[in-house]
């Protein structure tokens, strides 16, 4: 099926919220990882989200280009082409864009969508994320409101973050941030919804102790009840409304914690670290088992069948696809592909 339209994506989010499941949002960096996500979604009979970060987009463009915007455009066009061959719905997102990267990442992509719409073509992406969590709340909401107005004019969803997701991702390190910043207050969630909801469709990544990366049990203390209390504050301040919530930094979370967030309004969960490992693990095994074939040792010629990249990238694609299926099952989206919507 094609990448969903703005109205179709809005319907997907509405149904997920109503039925208490979430769409897994998989970060990708290459056509191989896109193929793995599509295969996994197909096997799980789940709709889902493909997204790319600033670092992933730059990598996607290649060492000879190193352009976040160009890499993101190439990724979106590839997904649009290949998704036609699958019977699940996918949406396209960009991931964390900090203020310093707006000019080189999100703004050129919004401009490209505007250009395509003027030519009668579909939007490039379905949604963009602005991560202004390093700013004061007032400055964060001010910039988010400015971006949301522009996004709404092209039927784009804007994802925003308040509070701070700990850990490190794509060179943005928040491991030194005080623990109190890892927990968004109900008052800040209500202020965010009050400021942004009237301007267009948006999604809120509130923080409740979540951290990028994988940590041993006990190192990360999640408090999903923060989302519950925040939704209650939003409802009280905004006439019974609720926000569409996003779960960042979910690697290593327990199933109980994940399901609690779904009941509190999470409709999208970002997945990156776990699928990175699932992709790389089969490659490592292939190299260890076939070291004398992938290397020309002691004057030998090696074994083309084992150093042909296809021999190990197929295994990597399958390994990541299997992890995609598990994510869909964890988020209750498996078996719920909506068909043509």
209-237: pLDDT as tens digits: 876 555 454 556 788 999 999 999 999 99
Predicted confidence band at 5 (pLDDT cuts at 50, 70, 90)? very high
Distance CA 10, CA 32 (A): 28
Give, as one character, the DSSP assignment of residue 326.
H
Q: Could you count the other beta carbons within 10 Å of the beta carbon of residue 7?
A: 10
Tell me: pLDDT of 132 over 80: yes
pLDDT tens-digit series, residues 264-289: 999 999 999 999 999 999 999 999 99
Catalytic residue among 95, 170, 272, 274: 95
Distance CA 99, CA 139 (A): 11
Q: Could you count the other beta carbons within 10 Å of the beta carbon of residue 171?
A: 8
The superfamily in CATH containing domain 6-330 is Aldolase class I (3.20.20.70)
Taking each helix axis from N to C end, the angle separating 68-83 and 31-44, rounded to the nearest 10 degrees, works out to 40
| Per-residue pLDDT, 178 | 47
Are 252 and 330 in contact, with CB atoms under 8 Å apart?
Answer: no
Tell me: pLDDT of 202 over 90: yes
pTM of whole model > 0.75? yes
Higher pLDDT, 142 or 171: 142
> 189 is written with which tokens?
């969630």
| Per-residue pLDDT, 176 | 47
Residue 95 appears among annotated catalytic residues: yes
> 16 is written with which tokens?
């997920």
> 104 is written with which tokens?
């080189």
Question: What φ, ψ does residue 93 adopt, rounded to 5°?
Answer: -125, 155
Are 264 and 33 in contact, with CB atoms under 8 Å apart?
Answer: no
| Per-residue pLDDT, 244 | 98
| Per-residue pLDDT, 221 | 74
β-partners of residue 228 are none
Tell me: pLDDT of 175 over 60: no
Are 88 and 45 in contact, with CB atoms under 8 Å apart?
Answer: yes
Are 205 and 246 in contact, with CB atoms under 8 Å apart?
Answer: yes
Distance CA 208, CA 250 (A): 11
Give, as one character, the DSSP assignment of residue 167.
S
Higher pLDDT, 71 or 254: 71
């Amino acid at each position: 099926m094609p990448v969903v339209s703005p109205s179709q994506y809005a319907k997907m989010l509405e149904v997920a919220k109503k039925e208490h499941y979430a769409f897994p949002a998989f970060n990708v960096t290459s056509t191989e990882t896109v193929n793995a996500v599509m295969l996994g979604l197909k096997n799980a009979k789940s709709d889902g989200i493909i997204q790319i970060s600033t670092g992933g987009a730059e990598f996607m463009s290649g060492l000879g280009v190193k352009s976040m915007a160009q890499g993101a455009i190439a990724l979106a066009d590839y997904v649009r082409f290949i998704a036609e061959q699958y019977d699940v719905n996918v949406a396209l997102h960009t991931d964390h864009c900090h203020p310093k990267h707006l000019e080189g990442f999100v703004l050129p992509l919004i401009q490209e969508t505007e250009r395509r719409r003027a030519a009668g073509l579909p939007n490039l992406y379905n949604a963009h994320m602005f991560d202004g969590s390093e700013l004061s709340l007032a400055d964060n909401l001010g910039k988010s409101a400015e971006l949301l107005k522009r996004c709404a004019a092209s039927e784009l969803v804007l994802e925003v973050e308040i509070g701070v997701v700990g850990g490190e991702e794509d060179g943005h390190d928040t491991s030194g941030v005080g623990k109190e910043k890892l927990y968004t207050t109900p008052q800040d969630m209500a202020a965010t919804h009050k400021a942004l909801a009237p301007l267009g469709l948006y999604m809120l990544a509130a923080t409740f102790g979540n951290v990028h990366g994988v940590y041993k049990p006990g190192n990360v203390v999640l408090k999903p009840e923060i989302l519950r209390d925040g939704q209650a504050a939003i409802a009280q301040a905004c006439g019974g409304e609720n926000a569409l919530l996003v779960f960042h930094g979910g690697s290593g979370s327990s199933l109980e914690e994940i399901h609690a967030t779904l009941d509190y309004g999470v409709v999208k969960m970002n997945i990156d670290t776990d699928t990175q490992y699932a992709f790389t693990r089969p490659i490592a095994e292939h190299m260890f088992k076939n070291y004398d074939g992938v290397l020309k040792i002691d004057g030998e010629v090696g074994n083309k069948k084992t150093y042909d990249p296809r021999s190990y990238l197929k295994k990597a694609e399958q390994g990541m696809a299997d992890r995609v299926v598990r994510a869909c099952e964890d988020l209750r989206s498996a078996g719920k592909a909506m068909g043509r919507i």
